[in-house]
A and B are shown apart, each in its own frame.
Chain A
Amino acid sequence: MIKVEFLGPIGKAPVEMEAKTLADVSAKLKEDETIAPWLSKCAVAVNDTMVKELDFVLKSGDRVSILPPVCGG
């Protein structure tokens, strides 16, 4: 089981799911109509490290963060 958390303005509570890779996470999040529109513009971190590979392998207890567009300053 992994945990997915949605940062900043997405405003959704964390969810837990079974996923072997980020591709599995993608497939499950696309089924959620409140989250699907965000996916094209969000970056992803696993355990607080930015990840850019969809085949990134997840292990039980991993925490996936979904980071929407930013504007500091």
Chain B
Amino acid sequence: MELYNGPLDVKEIFGRWLDEEAESNYGAYIPFVGTIRAEGGIEALSFDIYEPVLKSWFDGWQRKAEARGAIVKMAHSIGDVPVHTSSYISAVFSPKRRVALELIDEFVEDFKANAPIWKYDVIGGSRIYAEDRSTPMDGAGLLK
């Protein structure tokens, strides 16, 4: 798991991941890239991350992937990320394609629902919590 201030250098990270696993005998490598779209007048998105819980969440997924003979990797931005650049990339490596195709779907969807990351729209220099696009985590409402 890699965290960076500002936008990700997607080509460098994907290329390095490919090199890291070049001799690992994986038959499938499926990358996912999240790119900031220009919509709603935003200049950028901005992110807060709670790293200890994110690491636990990611380690749990690494164990799930290993149980299926695969590995997952991810990188995410902290702070402001301008439109048309990337804030999130992930990838699955597995011996065969089917596991990788299924895992990238499950991993990215659970990422959206349970990774402790908060998103803000940056409009006119102000940072506005993207409340309407945010999802309560599993177990939310315990203290209500």
Contact = CB atoms under 8 A, between A and B. Distances in A.
Q: Which of B117, B136, B140 has the most CB of A within 10 A?
A: B140
B43 to A, nearest CB: 18
A48 B56 CA distance: 8
B134 A71 contact: yes
B111 interface: yes
Contact of B143 (A9, A42, A48, A50): A42
Instruction: Place the interface of chain B in its size category.
Output: 35 or more
Contact of B118 (A29, A45, A51, A70): A70
Interface in A24-40: 25-26, 29-30, 39-40
A48 B133 CA distance: 24
Interface of A: 7-9, 22, 25-26, 29-30, 39-45, 48-54, 65-73
Contacts of A70: 112-118, 134-135, 137
Interface in B106-126: 108, 111-120
Contacts of B53: 45, 48, 50, 65, 67
B144 A67 contact: no
A71 B135 contact: yes
A53 B47 CA distance: 29
A14 B56 CA distance: 22
A69 B137 contact: yes
Contacts of B115: 70, 72
A51 B56 CA distance: 13
3 interchain residue pairs of minimum CB distance: A8-B118, A72-B117, A69-B134
Contact of A73 (B52, B87, B116): B87
A25 B129 CA distance: 25
9 contacts: A7-B50, A9-B118, A43-B140, A43-B142, A44-B143, A69-B134, A70-B118, A72-B111, A72-B112
